Amino acid sequence: MPILNRAHEMAEEVTGWRRHLHSHPELLFDVHETAAFVEEKLKSFGCDEVVTGLGRTGVVAVIKGSKGPGETLGFRADMDALPIREMTGKDYASQNSGKMHACGHDGHTSMLLGAAQYLAETRNFAGTVVVIFQPAEEGGGGGREMVEDGLMDRFGIDRVYGMHNMPGVPVGQFTIRSGALWASTDEFKITVTGRGGHAAWPNQTIDPIVIGSQIVQALQTIASRNADPVSAIVVSVTQFHAGTAHNIIPEDAEIGGTIRALSPENRALGEARLRAIAENIAAAHGATAEIEWRKGYPVMINHSGEADVCAQVASRVAGDNAVETEAAPMMGGEDFAYMTEARPGAMILIGNGDTAGLHHPAYDFNDEIIPLGISYWAALAEGNGRAA
Ligand code: NI
């Protein structure tokens, strides 16, 4: 099944939805207007059930096929924007100052709405499709909140699928891989407490800046000396705050940053080594290091059977040479990870063409790819999660 004629017919209308959402970006869980827009559309399509308020502001709709029993598939899109001042100069640019759809979630939501409209019209599939519109992908854990709110059990979801656009991948192409696709995204803050005093008498102090500097250096050995060299882990110190004047050794120093990993093992290793390094270097100097560990998104892992199905479905829609199945994993995070922890599933990446990168103020979702995205969702539904 190539790109659907119906999807081409719908493209202009769906592009209108996409640009409307682009003009009205909202952040995190505060996606009330977006969720209301999604709810209104889903109801107008005649979905069997539309549920709001899941995971605070998430929206879910159920569409039953007419071809008998089968699995229940969850298709997920994200609705939230980013705190960025838009620089696209487009006539549909953000009307909400300082907020912008710079990750294409406006496009993901619109394509899944288009697919919902098509599937509710045609019902040419077995089993059930549950379309999932989540808030707060950009750091709030909206996916986790929807799962904790009973998303999977309440709707009887057997498998779950996601799609994200990818700048730099040509229009008309998809990429995917089995295994880890996006990294875990934990954050840390280390507070080194020494003893402050006069800069001219350092012997009477315990200098948290010198100790903190050693900790920053030693943290580099997590990636270079602790982790398996063919695995992936990133340790980035992004903040170091200390001191108030040139002649005072401060009492404490604060070091902040992020650790990202592509396996649960490396994720655990990163945390354990960070604690050991910071606490023991501080202790060696008679200081203390207090560690605040903020758990972020887990590693987003594509299950191999589901990733294979996605690749085969994408090949049928886009053509045999249009799907890269060995995509490089990325050290960014994705809270779709909570959904593929809860159920087997996979996320595919759809080429956004030669545009500015994700989270860049000049980024814009490419409306040309809307028919392809809708057709992919339709084909996945019509095979009921199988490639045939
Ligand atoms: Ni995104």
- Ligand 1 centroid from CA 50, angstroms: 24
Residue 306 has pLDDT above 60, yes or no: yes
Mean pLDDT across the stretch 327-356? 97
- Ligand 1 centroid from CA 104, angstroms: 6
- Ligand 1 centroid from CA 341, angstroms: 18
The CATH class of 5-182+299-382 is alpha beta
User: Phi/psi zone of residue 143: left (φ > 0), alpha (ψ -120 to 50 degrees), beta?
Assistant: alpha
The residues with which 329 forms a beta bridge, in sequence order, are none
pLDDT band at 1 (very low <50, low <70, confident <90, very high): low
Residue 282 has pLDDT above 60, yes or no: yes
Q: What is the pLDDT of residues 29-83, one digit of tens each?
A: 999 999 999 999 999 999 999 999 999 999 999 999 999 999 999 999 999 999 9
Q: In what order do the strands lie in the sheet with 323-324?
A: 49-54, 58-64, 128-134, 72-78, 159-166, 345-351, 174-175, 323-324
Residue 280 has pLDDT above 80, yes or no: yes
**Contact indicator for 314, 323 with CB cutoff of 8 Å:** yes
pLDDT band at 385 (very low <50, low <70, confident <90, very high): confident
- Ligand 1 centroid from CA 332, angstroms: 10
pLDDT at 332: 94
Q: What percent of the chain has pLDDT over 70?
A: 99
Task: Round the average pLDDT of the chain to a whole number and report it.
Answer: 97
**Contact indicator for 326, 314 with CB cutoff of 8 Å:** no
pLDDT at 6: 87
- Ligand 1 centroid from CA 237, angstroms: 23
Q: What is the pLDDT of residues 210-246, one digit of tens each?
A: 999 999 999 999 999 999 999 999 999 999 999 999 9
Residue 388 has pLDDT above 60, yes or no: no
Domain with CATH 3.30.70.360 in the chain: 184-294
User: Phi/psi zone of residue 285: left (φ > 0), alpha (ψ -120 to 50 degrees), beta?
Assistant: alpha
Looking at residue 366, its amino acid is N
Q: What tokens does 62 get?
A: 């159920």
Mean pLDDT across the stretch 181-187? 97
Distance, CA of 73 to CA of 175 (rounded, Å): 21
Mean pLDDT across the stretch 346-358? 97
Q: Which residue has the tokens 């003893």?
A: 195
Closest CA to 22 of 113, 142, 134, 103: 103
**What is the value of pTM for the model shown?**
0.93
**Contact indicator for 254, 216 with CB cutoff of 8 Å:** no
**Contact indicator for 345, 30 with CB cutoff of 8 Å:** no
The residues with which 349 forms a beta bridge, in sequence order, are 164, 175
Domain with CATH 3.40.630.10 in the chain: 5-182+299-382
Distance, CA of 344 to CA of 306 (rounded, Å): 7
- Ligand 1 centroid from CA 207, angstroms: 42
- Ligand 1 centroid from CA 380, angstroms: 21
The CATH number assigned to the domain with range 184-294 reads: 3.30.70.360
Q: What is the pLDDT of residues 80-123, one digit of tens each?
A: 999 999 999 999 999 999 999 999 999 999 999 999 999 999 99
